[in-house]
Amino acid sequence: MVNSFGSLCDEFFVELLVNTELDLPGERDTVLNFFERIEKQFPTLSYFHRRDNGEFCLEEDREGDKYRWVSMEVDRIAAGCANPGELEDAYGLQRAVLELAPYMLGVSHLDVESLDVTFTMDFDYQGNHDEIVAEALFGTSAFSSLLDMSGARPLSFSPTAIVSLGDDCYTQARVAVEPRTTVYEVRSRKYKPDEPISLYLTVRRYQRPGEKLNMLKSFREQCRLAEDLMVGRIIPNFANPLINAIAQRR
């Protein structure tokens, strides 16, 4: 599928997270063998490093707008892509990680706490992010009445909502908007030019009791759900109002 979502924002990310119950292996040979297999299938992922927090990461060159990465923390595996031309650019790497994790890292269905697929849209804006979010998403809500008070200015408008996508509540969607304006910036009116407003959609699947979770099957279903939600709910009701509010202030 061609990535039409990226054309609506300044940066677009697709990320997979495998959250585990037990700690992942940290032995040198196991870690290197896993990332070497990733590099063999995706040769452009060739920069391997260990971050200060102990996270292992294999990345593509980040000089361009588009890049991919795979990382491993104590109890989490991540695989993502920034600004994919097609969603398959991200999905292909993420499927490879799910295929390798059981055999090379010992991740079984018993060990999977949850599986996340996250779409992130970043919108650049140099100004009060909270004003944008308040105008775009709270305009006719009860919260907007707080701004009618003399001298009131929005300082923390960061909506988050989680909904179940089924009766059993094991598949959920989380929508969150993250403004990054600080109180100092509002007070001084000196706003950083490189901090975006982020809009997140996460489709999370928890393992049902007694179920042997098929990670690849669940991943395909979660990607479909995320794409449908983006088209039917997120773009018209969240992204477009943010886009319009930003455009009116430029």
> Which residue from 122, 35, 22, 24 is spatially nearest to 79, judged by alpha carbons?
35
> Mean pLDDT for each 10-residue chunk of the chain (250 residues)?
84 97 94 97 96 94 91 97 95 98 94 96 95 92 88 90 95 97 90 92 92 94 97 97 92
What's the Cα-to-Cα distance from 26 to each of 64, 72, 82, 93, 158, rounded to whole Å? 31, 9, 27, 22, 36
Q: What is the pLDDT of residue 1?
A: 55
Q: How many CA atoms lie within 13 A of 28 on its CB side?
A: 0
Question: Is pTM, for the whole model, over 0.85?
Answer: yes
Helix, strand, coil percentages (3-state) for the chain, rounded to 5, are 40, 30, 35
> Which residue from 103, 109, 67 is spatially nearest to 215, judged by alpha carbons?
109
| Dist CA 93 CA 32 (whole Å) | 17
Q: What is the pLDDT of residue 211?
A: 84
Torsion, Cα 180 183 188 192, to 10 degrees, reads -10
